Structure formats: C-alpha cells, structure tokens
A and B are shown apart, each in its own frame.
Chain A
Amino acid sequence: MKIEANNTGQKVHFFDNPKNVTWMIRIFYAICILLVVADFVVHRHIYLSYDEIPAFYAIYGFVACVVLVIIATGMRKFVMRDEHFYDKREDEVEQIVPRVDVKHTPDSNQDTESHS
C-alpha cells in the first residue's frame, strides 16, 4: 500500500543536510579526543591491573564493539535463515502509511542521503 504524498516543498530535515551530519561527526570526534586527553590529565582511581593502561576503557570499548560486530556478522553464516523459516507470515498486515519517494544517491553516507 502506497500513498504518494507531494514530494516537492517538503522542508529539509536536520539530518538531510550533509553539512549538519559532517559537523555532528566532527564534534563527536572532538569529544572522543578530549576524553582520551582527559585520561592523561585527570588522576583516576586504579582498581585493577588493566586499569593502568592509558585510555584502557576507550581502547576496550572500541575493540569490544569491533570484535562483537565481526563475530556477529560471521555468525550469520550459521544461524541466518529466511524470514519465513518458522512461520508463514501472510496474515500480518502493514498499516497504510503515507510514503514519499526517496532517491538514494549510491555513494553518499547513510546519514546524508537527501530528498530529491
């Protein structure tokens, strides 16, 4: 079910403007850097032997997530099946939702796709 809404004259949303997204990511990087710098400036309590490693939590968080995603992606080979593997889901109805057509530029960042 598709209801075509008028596509022209829509307001450009915040994340549709690539500049906004770029700026947000830049601010995000800056905070990351500041947090690592803070690790050297601030004296934090050391509870465990690993804790002594500078920026331990930052490194651990980054590595943990990368490992998590890589293993999980690998898991797909073994556990992923078609969505109707257990149940035929024909009786589920989607709501009738207003839609607009969105043109996705192929090489743009996921965030920065814009309306035509």
Chain B
Amino acid sequence: MSYAIPAFLPFFLAALFAAIAPVRFRYLLVLVPLVNGILIYLNADQLTPISIQLHTFTLQIMDVGAQVTEQDAKLTLLFAYLFHLACFICLIYALHVKDKVQIVAGLLYAGSAVGAVFAGDFITLFIFWELLAVTSAFLVFARRTKASKAAGIRYLIIQVLSGVLLLIGAISYFQQTGSLEIGYIGLGSMASWLFLIAFGIKAAFPFMHSWLTDAYPEATPAGAVFLSAFTTKVAIYMLARTFPGEDLLVYIGAAMTCFPIFYAVIENDLRKVLAYSLINQLGFMVCGIGIGTALALNGTVAHAFNDVIFKGLLFMTMGAVLHRVGHVNGSNLGGLYKTMPKTTIFCIIGAASISAFPLFSGFVSKSMVMAAMIEAGHEYLWLMLLFASAGVFHHAGIKIPFFAFFAHDSGLRPKEAPTNMLVAMGIAAFMCILVGTYPEFLYQMLPWENSYVPYDLTHTLTQLQLLFFSALAFVWLNKKGLYPPELKSVNLDFEWIYRRAMPAAGLGLARFADNLKTHFVGFAVSAVNALPAKKRGNDANAATLTLRMALGFVVLAVLAFVTQFI
C-alpha cells in the first residue's frame, strides 16, 4: 500500500463536506486529520511524489520520495505529523462550535499548512502561503465584533503582502538560478532578502510582528488555537529549509526572545500575553536556525513541535475562559479555579511546559537550542536567552494561571469548560507530559542525528534554580507591592505606526492638500475679481466683452495644449 494523494486533499474535501453537510455531522470531521495522519505515518516510506503540469511549468505538490534528502524528508514529515495532531486537537476543541465559517476555515487553514510543508517549489509554496493567509483571516472575522473585523483586515493585508514578497522573490530567484526548487538559499542576492522578509513576516520578526499580537487576541476562542499552531510554524519550517546557519538569524532570534516579554508583563488581555509569548518562543527557534548545527536545528524542530502543543494548550485554556466569561482581561478575572478546576490544572500543565520545567515538554527542547548556543560560542546571546527563559516563566508560567485562576477573587463563578474542550486540553496536556517524561518519543523523529541528553544533574538543577528564583522574584515583588497591577489598557506597539501614525499623516496630507486647494481657488477668484470691470457706458461693455473673450480664448488654448500631454 502506498499513499498516493496530495496530503492536503482530505482536509479540503472535509472542508467542502463541512460547508454543505448539516452541521450535526461535524463530529465526523475529527476523523479526517486522525486517519490521514496515521496513513501518512504508516506509509512514510512509500509516499508517492505528485506533480501537476501547468502549461510549461510543473507544480510539485507532493515533494517526497527518492529525490529528497533524508533530512528534508524527515523535517517535512515531522511538521506534517505535527499539523495533523494540531488540527485533530483543534477540531475536538471546536466541536461545540456550530458556526460553519470557523470549521470550514479551520480545515482549509490546516490543509494549507500541510500543503505548504509538502510543496517542492516556490510557486506551489506561494499558493499555499496565500491560502494560509486568506483562510486564517476568517477565524478572526468569525468573532463578529467590530474590532475583530478591523483586525482581520489588517492581518489579511500583512499576510498577503508576505505572499506577494514571496512571489516576487520566487520570480527573481528563477531569473537568477533557473530553478524554483525549495532548498538552501542563504543570504546574498535580492531574491534571498525578499524570501527572508516574506518568511520573516510570517515568523513575526521584530517590527513585523504586530499582526500577530493584533489579530490573535481578536480571534474566536477556537480560532486562536488554530492560528497559534500553523502560520508561524510553516514560516519556521521554511526558514529551516532555506536559511539554516544564517548568522543574522541568531541576532534576530535573540531579539525576538527578549522584547516581547516586557510587553507580556504589562499586558492585560491574557490572550495577547500568549501572543507575545508566542513570539518569544519563535525567537528560540529562529536562534536555532541561525546557529544551524545539527543540535540547534533538532532543537528548533523539537521546540516547534512542543510549542504547538503547549501554546495551543494555553490558548485553549484562555479560550475556555473567554467562552465562559466573555473576556480574558486579567484585571477582571481571578479565583476561577473554584469553578473551573480542570481548566486550571490544564493551564498549569501548559504553563509548566512553556516554562521548561523538568518533566514537561519545553524542558527537553528549549535546552537543545541553549546548549547549541553555548557550543557556537555566543555567550552574550546565551545570557539573553537565559533572561528570556526566566522571563517566559514569569509572564506565561506564572502570570497567566495566577491572574486568571487565582489572584484576588473576582467573584465570577463560571461553569467548567465544555467536555469537548476539556478532552482537547487533556490530549494536549498528555502530550506535554509524554514528551517531557519520555523525550525519545520526539527525539526519534528528529531529522538530524541526535545524541542530546536532557536529563542530567547539571541541567535539571540549574533549570530548577532559574525557575524557582524567578518565582521567588514574583512572590517578593507581589509582597512588596512592586508588581504592576493588571490595568485595563492598550499598550502601544509597532502597530501604532500603521494604526495611528500613518492614518494621521495621511489625514494631515489630505488636509494640507485641501487647504492648498482652498487657497488656490481663493486666489483665482480674487484674480478674476481684480480684472477691471470697465463700467463706462454701453459701448465700453463691448470692449470688456472682447477682453474677456480674448482671455477665454487664451485659457482654452492653454487647456488644449495641456490635454496633449495627458
């Protein structure tokens, strides 16, 4: 038996089914990623390459088989498994949702991500890249608030821009090399920079990140879980394929680990905190790609795998709160553990995983990137990553569960999350603990040779010290009253440029142009008025008329002359 269909096809067919079938059949959809994922896993060695001839061009939609290097094939497969697993969990989480828009968009979105990782050339990638953008935007629109509509449009514009840059990059790459095959590019040519920016937008590089923190918190509860899994990870996958070992990425990644945590500490919307912390985690992966050694790349891939699960889990817990309470503002939450104990436990498991607590999944993958950083000799950057590790525990590990479920009692007594949400969170939590306690499960799938041992005495002890003393700082700051209280607020980030500064500048320009027009018209009117009125009797009128006719003729002549040039 061999697997001879495009891997994304079942997702698209399922989306079609979801669109036309009565909504009560949505339970069947959960089987699609599960069965498709298992089939791909069982036939991992016998995947059939598929390509479509389009005029003179061949779209390689399933780039598998003998011509692909072993590493690339493993990398592709690992991400494919990951996306199937993520889609499976997301669909269970969304089972209570009767809104067809979300289900269809979610399936198309997951299918596009699967299609993107199996793509063999940049044009096929471009198609799925844009599909990712378009389909995912509906997960934001589906919230159906004014803010989400506006955020969805902004998200869509930036995502499509990324795709356009990718297309321009692909065209100029084709001109230079005559090939569109996805493979190592390396920085240098114009095309490579375009690729880097295109991938960088989706990977939320600094100053290109604000679409993420803008749109994800506006999405529906289930939509945010979908969103956190796919777009950014496809970008990480592409960076790992095309720019491994690119030194610049180490610095970009280190910046990405550090700057979001400051925002995360003062942010009130807890899903926005998670969005910032997502950028922070992406930073570790980008660092790993920049280092480019086998250990670093393995670490990147492993961390991407874990991040999808634990970040998904955290988004799910906050989604459950949003579903039950209607908002996730830290300032108005607290004490929810009393009525949502299961969600609280899952949130703590997710928080422990993202903070890289021993026995939880983050511990076995983040440290691979850290260790690779030391091996590569980037001591100062390593200190930055260590700072970010302490910081991530602080804002995602403590702040999220503390302000939502403990802290001061808000008096809210919402019901526990719906059963399907709890099941989805349970699966994700189980995966976090499974990978954390039995890392071989993940390590055996890694593309490169792997001999990393996460559980040695030094690593466990130092990590525990780091985390416990970060927690100590939290306790101490809280006792001293130094900890910034959760306040209803918006924090200005880079998006201010295009949400405030650019519109303001545009309006200013328009006003300036308007003023200019008014002045010009006023000037023209006064010039006309300045013409001598020559009221000297009847025969003088004829002279005035002649003068005016002469002037009119000149104006007409000038206009005729001007129109020749338009």
Q: Name the B residues within 8 Å of A82 (CB-CB).
A: 489-490
Question: Taking the complex as formed, is B407 at the interface, i.e. its CB lies under 8 A from any CB of chain A?
Answer: yes
Q: Name the A residues within 8 Å of B335 (CB-CB).
A: 102
* B462 touches which of A57, A91, A100, A115 (Cβ 8 Å): A57
The reply to whether B408 and A104 contact each other, CB–CB distance below 8 Å, is: yes
Known: A76-B266, A95-B325. A35 touches B465 (CB 8 A): yes
Interface of B is mostly: helix
> Which residue in chain B gives the minimum CB-CB distance to A83?
B488
The reply to whether A73 and B484 contact each other, CB–CB distance below 8 Å, is: yes
Give Cα distance in the complex from A115 to B410, angstroms: 11
> Which residue in chain B gives the minimum CB-CB distance to A70?
B482
Question: Taking the complex as formed, is B508 at the interface, i.e. its CB lies under 8 A from any CB of chain A?
Answer: no
The reply to whether A61 and B473 contact each other, CB–CB distance below 8 Å, is: yes
Give Cα distance in the complex from A44 to B456, angstroms: 9
Q: How many residues of B contact A (CB 8 A)?
A: 70
Give Cα distance in the complex from A97 to B338, angstroms: 14
* A65 touches which of B379, B390, B411, B499 (Cβ 8 Å): B390
A80-95: contact bitstring with B at CB < 8 Å (1 yes, 0 no)? 1111111111011111
Give Cα distance in the complex from A55 to B387, angstroms: 15
Give Cα distance in the complex from A5 to B201, angstroms: 49
The reply to whether B410 and A57 contact each other, CB–CB distance below 8 Å, is: no
Give Cα distance in the complex from A68 to B462, angstroms: 20
* A94 touches which of B325, B474, B489 (Cβ 8 Å): B325
Q: Name the A residues within 8 Å of B413 (CB-CB).
A: 5, 97-100
Q: How far is the CB of B37 from chain A (nearest CB, A)?
A: 34
Question: Taking the complex as formed, is B546 at the interface, i.e. its CB lies under 8 A from any CB of chain A?
Answer: no
The reply to whether B409 and A55 contact each other, CB–CB distance below 8 Å, is: no
Q: Name the A residues within 8 Å of B499 (CB-CB).
A: 86
The reply to whether B468 and A31 contact each other, CB–CB distance below 8 Å, is: yes
The reply to whether A87 and B147 contact each other, CB–CB distance below 8 Å, is: yes
The reply to whether A81 and B390 contact each other, CB–CB distance below 8 Å, is: no
- Lowest 9 CB-CB distances: which A-B pairs, in order? A65-B473, A94-B326, A61-B469, A72-B265, A95-B326, A44-B458, A61-B466, A57-B465, A58-B465
Q: Which residues of A contact B (CB under 8 A)?
A: 5, 13, 15-16, 25, 28-29, 31-32, 35-36, 38-39, 42, 44-45, 47-48, 50, 55-66, 68-73, 75-76, 78-89, 91-95, 97-102, 104, 109-111, 113, 115
In the complex, besides A61-B466, A89-B146, A110-B408, 16 extra interface pairs with C-beta distance below 8 angstroms are: A28-B471, A28-B475, A32-B469, A38-B461, A42-B457, A48-B379, A61-B465, A62-B470, A75-B266, A75-B491, A76-B489, A79-B492, A83-B490, A87-B150, A102-B409, A102-B410
